[in-house]
Structure 1
């Protein structure tokens, strides 16, 4: 080594270049005096190769470099904006989390609590041709109707433009027209002379669902919550696990819990809305998938579950959870084989299962990095592909959930 900075010669890592009293390694430079400490801090947080990792960070031997190893928490958090082999693992699920957060807010605000009139084909034309005189004359006979004259005026003047639905949103529609609903939507046994028998049956059948309370939304939002928890837990795990062995242990347990939560809650909308009129099967399927999810979480808490040699077992366990949904889906198809919504939602669920299954297969086999080790360290390795497929599968199930909500709001039991 050349002459110059004697302190640099004693640094505990090899020199690739030493000139004019300056030690250079990549873009990091050390010179005499107080710069030695600064140099040590910079080089300390360089990325390392697989063979330099502690045992608990060795998970995929086909990813050879660009690892963070036991960095301080501040540097770990800041590494979200730098390039390493976990960057895309963090961001694929972090972006997915914000996507589902936006969809949850949008659905809660925009998806109506009753079916949108405009979603029913040709309804405005049919309504304009219908004789609604008896509907208007029946309104005065109903008790407990404040500002009735204002309602009747709004109804008469707004109907042609189809703008009356928002203006009536503040009125208690189910109570106002309870006596004018067709029999299949009425919960009472009394007969009222103003029942809309003179209106065309197709108009009544289309209007009546708008007059009843919507079905519960909790299974749909339970799935959205499970998806957001899974995506955020996964992103956090990939960001923080390199800090220390203890934190890595905690983060991996959180990640496995999130996967089990996503799979379990994915069945809630399909099972609940398919069997809401059959409480026995509804409770049976929901209880089974919930207990299976809890059992999977308990097993995933075992320390041995973290070892790389159990990668395939982890994938098969979560794959088995997903396959447990075949029974309720087949049962739904038998019960509602003549309902187009049943086929529509099943198509979404098959696509979702295919995306999850392919993701689990890629994760377990570590394709494509096993074919060309070191070539996919930064982008394109199996875990990143797995993340993208999980987000795509969850979004597919979101679309199925919207079909379930519209179907059950219209049809009821």
Structure 2
């Protein structure tokens, strides 16, 4: 990747009002830090680690992208621009790894402790692999596909969540779907440059893939917050022993 290419890419990205971009990313950082901790029902939650994982997951994409957009026009060569991209990807990774831990924990909450910790450890392992791929990616598709394995793991956990053995608040199921589904759509829209590739030169300032991605990130973070708060409260209130007895009763009746 040549310096000329980097310079042209930076100029193209900087052509559509970078100050507005920095504002749209900076305001959510302040808003999330001021409101999200206050929206968590701390008095109803036993754990302190998982709620703060949620706060970190909600705010980290905005911090990484804010710093990236703030310094992307610096004429310091290819390596500095690449480091800024890595910082942007690190923010997304925190959201995908730490931000997903409450959902992962709630899904396996009532499983035997051996299975519970094996699944959580395996998800952490996939997240570390995703971090390595994110820090070494050189193309837009590589940067998006680095989160594929953790995403597929969350799909499998969603299937488990819908079974009689899975946990999690059933009222948050739609938000569990949206938090990953909307993020995946946003990633594809950004990588494919939809819709500006069909209307070149007409969407440099608005309604381009970058604008759409910003909106979709807001929707995904909102769904993540709704699902996480429900799961945190559910883990405090659920009686896993009663669930196990109910499952055994269903199994005995089925055998009879």
Same-fold status (TM-score > 0.5): yes
Give CA deviations for 1:106-157 in whole Å, capped at 9, x if unaligned: 135xx2413xxxxxxxxxxxxxxxxxxxxxxxxxxxxxxxxxxxxxxxxxxx
Q: Which residue of 2 aligns with 1:331?
A: 160
Asked whether 1:97 is paired with 2:29, we answer yes
Instruction: Provide the TM-score with structure 2 as the length reference.
Output: 0.80
Q: Which residue of 2 aligns with 1:75?
A: none
Asked whether 1:399 is paired with 2:226, we answer yes
Q: Which residue of 1 aligns with 2:88?
A: 255
Taking the aligned partners of 1:269 and 1:65, their CA distance within structure 2 comes to 35
Q: 1:297 aligns with which of 118, 131, 137?
A: 131
Asked whether 1:237 is paired with 2:63, we answer no
Taking the aligned partners of 2:13 and 2:72, their CA distance within structure 1 comes to 16
Secondary structure of residue in 1 paired with 2:201: coil
**Considering only CA atoms, is the larger Rg found in Structure 1 or Structure 2?**
1
User: Cα gap change, 1:326/1:251 in structure 2, threshold over 3 Å: closer, same or farther?
Assistant: same
Give CA deviations for 1:238-273 in whole Å, capped at 9, x if unaligned: 110210224322211111111111111232111212
Which sections of structure 1, spanning at least 5 residues, go unmatched?
1-52, 68-83, 115-213
Q: Which residue of 2 aligns with 1:281?
A: 115
Q: Which residue of 1 aligns with 2:251?
A: none
In 2, are the aligned partners of 1:230 and 1:262 still within 8 Å (CA)?
yes
User: Cα gap change, 1:379/1:87 in structure 2, threshold over 3 Å: closer, same or farther?
Assistant: farther
Shift of 1:357: 1.4
Taking the aligned partners of 2:135 and 2:181, their CA distance within structure 1 comes to 27
Q: Which residue of 2 aligns with 1:54?
A: 4
Q: Which residue of 2 aligns with 1:151?
A: none
Secondary structure of residue in 1 paired with 2:172: helix
Taking the aligned partners of 2:210 and 2:13, their CA distance within structure 1 comes to 15
Q: 1:317 aligns with which of 129, 142, 146?
A: 146
Q: How do 1:373-384 and structure 2 match up within 5 A?
A: 373-384=200-211
Shift of 1:66: 5.3
Taking the aligned partners of 2:14 and 2:37, their CA distance within structure 1 comes to 37
In 2, are the aligned partners of 1:311 and 1:364 still within 8 Å (CA)?
yes
Taking the aligned partners of 1:99 and 1:322, their CA distance within structure 2 comes to 27
Instruction: Provide the TM-score with structure 1 as the length reference.
Output: 0.52
Give CA deviations for 1:74-127 in whole Å, capped at 9, x if unaligned: xxxxxxxxxx4434433333222223212333135xx2413xxxxxxxxxxxxx
Shift of 1:368: 1.4
Q: How many residues align?
A: 235
Q: Which residue of 2 aligns with 1:268?
A: 101
In 2, are the aligned partners of 1:267 and 1:286 still within 8 Å (CA)?
no
Which sections of structure 2, spanning at least 5 residues, go unmatched?
241-256
Instruction: Out of 92-101 and 400-409, give the one that drifted further.
Output: 92-101
Shift of 1:234: 0.9
Taking the aligned partners of 1:288 and 1:85, their CA distance within structure 2 comes to 42
